[in-house]
């Protein structure tokens, strides 16, 4: 049976070496000078095999398989190389440039965030053409709040490379943006730019955005407001600007966040609606082809309405392959259709494999397709309502089997009541989507649309109330779960071998499943033991804040120059990840206890001095204080030669509570005096394992 599965899913066999090649190049950046020549040579050999039909000979079958797999592996490498060769880092200085907004800007607390495509940039007196993406933060005022998709601007601003903070185990924003092919950022003051044209860029995207805005107005005209409008806009049209942080947190904690991101669930519901409406075309082969063409066209139209986002396009392509595959109905063909859609998407953009959405989408769909029928068959209900509920439960469990390792790795939490959540939200979300489609159709009639809008509003209130209720249940969110990349691969291998065992019933697959489970347990125990013995000295990269952490044997000592709380984003994203990874209790030493002009501390025979005030300059030293590190904070008015009169040290560190101007002056003085220094703002967090 397992061999038959592989035979019926050729794209699955092609996809594996292709993905391995992509991941290999992303991980190791293997710059092979003759890689393209080698790829061409493999292609020529493959064509010779095909032309002379050598695969008909049994002895050549294995060679053919190896050649195809090797070709796809090298192809994956080459596609990533093409992407890497296009990386464009602008010189870090003030530039004049012309650029177009490629998406609707997002309002932040003190700025307006937008992604720009730079059309041309001025170098000296010459304008150079470019197509690089740039993430920008505009100074917030009435003009920047009125910016919209397709606006073309001319601006003068400082452009710098996006840098990783380097904080241990923290989210790598630089790497995340690099997979979106964004490598530079800029802050643009309100008087340093002006709009020179409207409606530039992709005409399809502009039309999509305009259409979506018209549909959003239909919601507003029918008095759907507040949280209900925010959820409805996100749920049906992928418009998330109205979602508050509190609303996002509620959906995340209850395990319902996936319904706010228009993706596989929503496209799947549309797909099911279309299949049911077009059931009469199923009678013959030509009818099936016509139904498939109509379904695929409508799915792409829905993607158009929702803004042509990556997640919707990914789901649309996946269901398009499934729809087309159903025309040529064969057992297990759905796996081949899913694999084919993934292959096409990665062929277009190999960086998609690093997208959390891509990983979760395919893990969920494959897991549902494989495990749901087997889970569903465990119980039989004669009545429709219990049977429908059991279908939802089986789908929820099946999806969690495939996505659990990935979800926990990225988000470090797990919704305890995900089954309850899905039983409630999927029917309500389906009703809302049905209602929204009907509302759009009958929007010409105020009376009919008003009645439909009231029903939609009722369902939305029920949906939001259910989410709030589940969120407030005791233990609704299991947080602090830590699964590193190695553990993710072990867990996925466990799930795969378990699936192979279910397919083949072979004992060797069962032994492998047990082996991976034991391996996961032993790895986890070993990792915790190793982490508990770690000793680290960290000067964190935290904007405009001095943050030093000493970690030793599962205990941490935290020095900072701000009064902070546990929900402070600076702490949450920059300080806590290392504590969570090492299973250290998140308690802080208060500012009042720690604020001293000079902090002196030591760890494992390493000595550290943090200087925040220059009072010591009033005294003439008898002997110099010996230390290994000096940390300068808060722009203290001291020169490096003055420090040399008072301290003997190996290295000096400038933390992020200092200004660029002050650090630049210190760097010059260090160079003149041949002193080793670390600039945390430019170099990222400084970490010393002791």
pLDDT tens, 24-38? Answer: 899 887 777 777 777
Distance CA 322, CA 335 (A): 9
For residues 360 and 406, is the Cβ–Cβ distance under 8 A? yes
Q: Which residue has the higher pLDDT, 468 or 595?
A: 468
What does each C-alpha distance from 75 to 70, 133, 158, 294, 616 come to in angstroms? 8, 26, 38, 34, 63
pLDDT level of residue 133 (50, 70, 90 thresholds): very high
Compute the average pLDDT of residues 154-179: 90
| pLDDT > 90? residue 650 | no
pLDDT level of residue 585 (50, 70, 90 thresholds): low
pLDDT at 2: 54
| pLDDT > 90? residue 99 | yes
Among residues 355, 363, 429, which one has the least CA distance to residue 398? 363
pLDDT at 591: 42
Which of 336-345, 577-586, 618-627, 650-659 is modeled with the greatest confidence?
Answer: 650-659
pLDDT at 117: 93
**Burial of residue 554 (number of CB atoms within 10 Å: 0-12, 13-18, 19+):** middle
Structure tokens at 572: 């949450």
pLDDT tens, 195-252? Answer: 999 988 888 888 888 888 898 899 999 988 888 898 888 888 888 888 887 888 888 8
| pLDDT > 90? residue 481 | no
DSSP 171-212: --HHHHHHTTTEEEEEEE-GGGEEEEESS-S-HHHHHHHHHH
| pLDDT > 60? residue 332 | no
| pLDDT > 90? residue 666 | yes
Structure tokens at 428: 């309500």
Structure tokens at 320: 């398009």
Q: Which residue has the higher pLDDT, 622 or 368?
A: 368
Q: What share of the chain is helix, strand, coil (3-state, %, to 5)?
A: 55, 15, 25
For residues 182 and 133, is the Cβ–Cβ distance under 8 A? yes
pLDDT at 28: 85
Q: Which residue has the higher pLDDT, 256 or 397?
A: 397
pLDDT at 8: 66
Compute the average pLDDT of residues 398-426: 84
For residues 189 and 212, is the Cβ–Cβ distance under 8 A? no
Instruction: Tell the residue number behind the tokens 């319902």, with chain if given.
Output: 256
Compute the average pLDDT of residues 484-507: 84
| pLDDT > 80? residue 331 | no
Nearby residues of 352 by Cβ (< 8 Å), 6 or more positions away? 310, 314, 345, 346, 358
Distance CA 86, CA 671 (A): 35
Measured in whole angstroms, how far is the alpha carbon of residue 367 from the centre of its chain?
21
pLDDT at 6: 61
pLDDT level of residue 90 (50, 70, 90 thresholds): confident
pLDDT at 115: 92
| pLDDT > 80? residue 597 | no
pLDDT at 54: 60
Q: Which residue has the higher pLDDT, 157 or 284?
A: 157
Distance CA 558, CA 537 (A): 10
pLDDT at 357: 84
| pLDDT > 70? residue 590 | no
590: helix, strand or coil: coil
Distance CA 99, CA 130 (A): 10
For residues 91 and 140, is the Cβ–Cβ distance under 8 A? no
pLDDT level of residue 39 (50, 70, 90 thresholds): confident
Mean pLDDT score across all residues of the chain: 84
DSSP 432-481: HHHHHHHHHHTTT-HHHHHHHHHHHHHHHHHHHHHHHHHHTSTT-EEE--
| pLDDT > 60? residue 330 | no
pLDDT level of residue 589 (50, 70, 90 thresholds): very low
Report CA torsion sign: 141, 143, 149, 150. negative
Instruction: Tell the residue number behind the tokens 């993706």, with chain if given.
Output: 263
Percent of the chain with pLDDT over 70: 92
């Amino acid at each position: 049976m397992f061999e038959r599965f592989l035979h019926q899913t050729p794209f699955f066999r092609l996809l594996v070496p292709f993905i391995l090649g992509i991941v290999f190049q992303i991980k190791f950046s293997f710059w092979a000078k003759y890689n393209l020549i080698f790829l061409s040579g493999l292609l020529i050999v493959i064509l010779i095999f095909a032309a002379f039909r050598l695969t008909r000979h049994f002895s050549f079958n294995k060679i053919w398989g190896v050649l195809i797999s090797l070709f796809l592996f090298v192809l994956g490498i080459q596609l990533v190389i093409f992407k890497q060769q296009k990386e464009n880092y602008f010189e870090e200085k003030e530039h004049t440039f012309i650029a177009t907004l490629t998406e609707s800007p997002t309002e932040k607390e003190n700025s307006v965030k937008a992604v720009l495509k730079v059309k041309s940039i001025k170098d000296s007196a010459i304008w150079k053409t470019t197509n690089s993406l740039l993430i920008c933060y505009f100074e917030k005022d009435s003009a920047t709040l009125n910016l919209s998709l397709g606006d073309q601007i001319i601006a003068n601003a400082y452009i710098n490379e996006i840098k990783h903070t380097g904080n241990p185990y923290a989210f790598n924003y630089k790497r995340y943006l690099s997979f979106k092919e964004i490598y530079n950022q800029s802050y643009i003051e309100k008087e340093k730019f002006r709009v020179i044209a409207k409606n530039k860029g992709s005409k399809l995207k502009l039309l999509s955005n305009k259409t979506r805005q018209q549909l959003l107005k239909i919601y507003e005209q029918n008095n759907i407001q507040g949280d209900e409008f925010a959820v409805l806009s996100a749920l049906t049209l992928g418009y998330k600007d109205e979602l508050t942080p509190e609303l996002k947190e509620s959906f995340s904690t209850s395990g319902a966040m996936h319904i706010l991101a228009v993706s596989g669930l929503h496209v799947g519901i549309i797909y099911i609606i279309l299949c049911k409406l077009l059931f009469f075309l199923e009678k013959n082969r030509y009818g099936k082809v016509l139904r498939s063409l109509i379904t695929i066209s409508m799915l792409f139209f829905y993607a158009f309405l929702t803004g042509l986002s990556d997640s919707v396009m990914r789901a649309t392509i996946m269901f398009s392959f499934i729809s087309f595959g159903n025309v040529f109905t064969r057992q297990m063909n759905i796996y081949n259709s899913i694999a084919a859609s993934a292959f096409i998407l990665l062929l277009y953009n190999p960086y998609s494999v690093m997208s959390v959405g891509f990983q979760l989408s395919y893990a969920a769909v494959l897991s549902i397709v494989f495990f749901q029928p087997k889970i569903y068959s465990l119980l039989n209900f004669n009545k429709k309502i219990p049977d429908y509920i059991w279908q939802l439960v089986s789908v929820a469990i099946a999806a969690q089997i495939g996505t659990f390792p990935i979800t926990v790795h990225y988000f470090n939490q797990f919704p305890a009541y995900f089954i309850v959540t899905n039983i409630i939200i999927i029917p309500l979300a389906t009703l809302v989507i049905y209602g929204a489609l009907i509302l759009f159709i009958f929007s010409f009639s105020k009376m009919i649309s008003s009645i439909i809008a009231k029903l939609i509003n009722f369902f939305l209130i029920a949906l939001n109330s259910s989410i709030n209720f589940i969120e407030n249940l005791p233990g609704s969110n299991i947080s602090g779960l830590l699964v590193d990349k190695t553990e993710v691969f072990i867990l996925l291998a466990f799930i795969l071998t378990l699936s192979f065992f279910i397919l083949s019933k072979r004992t060797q697959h069962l032994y492998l499943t047990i082996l991976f489970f034991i391996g996961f347990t032993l790895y986890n125990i070993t990792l915790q033991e190793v982490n508990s013995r770690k000793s680290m000295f960290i000067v964190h990269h935290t904007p405009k804040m001095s943050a030093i952490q000493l970690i030793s044997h599962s205990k941490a000592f935290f020095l900072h120059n701000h009064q902070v709380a546990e929900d402070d984003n600076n702490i949450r994203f920059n300080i806590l990840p290392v504590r969570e990874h090492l299973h250290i209790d998140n308690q802080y030493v208060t500012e009042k206890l720690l604020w001293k002009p000079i902090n002196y501390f030591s760890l494992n025979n390493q000595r550290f001095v943090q200087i925040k005030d220059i009072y010591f300059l009033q005294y003439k030293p008898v002997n110099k204080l010996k230390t290994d590190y000096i940390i300068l904070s808060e722009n203290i008015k001291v020169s490096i030669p003055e420090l040399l009169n008072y301290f003997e040290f190996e290295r000096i560190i400038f933390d992020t509570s200092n200004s660029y101007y002050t650090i630049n002056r210190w760097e010059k003085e260090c160079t003149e005096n041949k002193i080793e220094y670390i600039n945390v703002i430019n170099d990222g967090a400084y970490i010393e394992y002791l």
